[in-house]
Every structure is written in C-alpha cells, then in structure tokens.
Amino acid sequence: MAANYAGPFNSNTQVHHVGFKVNPLETLTLGALYFDFDTLNTRDNLNMGGRELDLYAEWVVSDNLIVSPLVGLYQPDKSLEDGGLQGGGNGTNVYSQLVVIVPF
C-alpha cells in the first residue's frame, strides 16, 4: 500500500517484511503483512521511512469469482515539516481496497 499511495519506495530504501496467512476454509485465506521501510541516505533526500500493516482476505466465491478486501495502516517516520514526505503531520494513514478477480 505504501509503495502505491504514500511514496516512491523503489530506491534508497531498505525494507523488512513479515507475512502471515491462514486458510480456515478451503475457499478463504486470511493474511497479515508487516513492512518496515528505512531510508538509507537522508542527506539531501526526504526521509520516507515508516511502518505498514495490511490485513486482507481472499474469498473464492466460485471458479470465476474471487473477492479480496484489504485494510492497510501506514505510519510514516517523519512529516513534511520534519524532512519526510507526508504533509499535515506524521499521523497514521488508513487505506482500504476491494479487488474483484474474474478468472476465465
């Protein structure tokens, strides 16, 4: 989520990631993803470090329909005023998405 919405995390970044998922039913997967982003060189660069937690489900409704909701929480290390990327403080961002997959 952070890479898509909160900032460009494809260079000058160290990322630690832990994931967990369970299949309580044959047609249902529940998961959690944790990310810790660290900016490697902050001199003359914005500090885009932060932490993210994503909770998601994958529900196979039928052979031709999969529904996957996600809620993500992202907490940046720094605000724009402190050398970071996020304006208006470094409060927690809440993201949500619903993906509907129709395989054929």
pLDDT in tens, 38-48: 888 877 777 88
More confident residue, 101 or 87: 101
Cα(93)–Cα(101) distance, rounded to whole angstroms? 26
pTM for the whole structure: 0.82
Q: Which residues contact 38 (CB under 8 A, 6 or more apart)?
A: 13, 14, 15, 16, 49
Which helix (H) or strand (E) segment holds residue 101: the answer is strand 93-101
Q: Could you read off the pLDDT of 27-76 as tens digits, one per residue?
A: 999 999 999 988 888 777 778 888 999 999 999 999 999 999 999 999 98
pLDDT of residue 91: 84
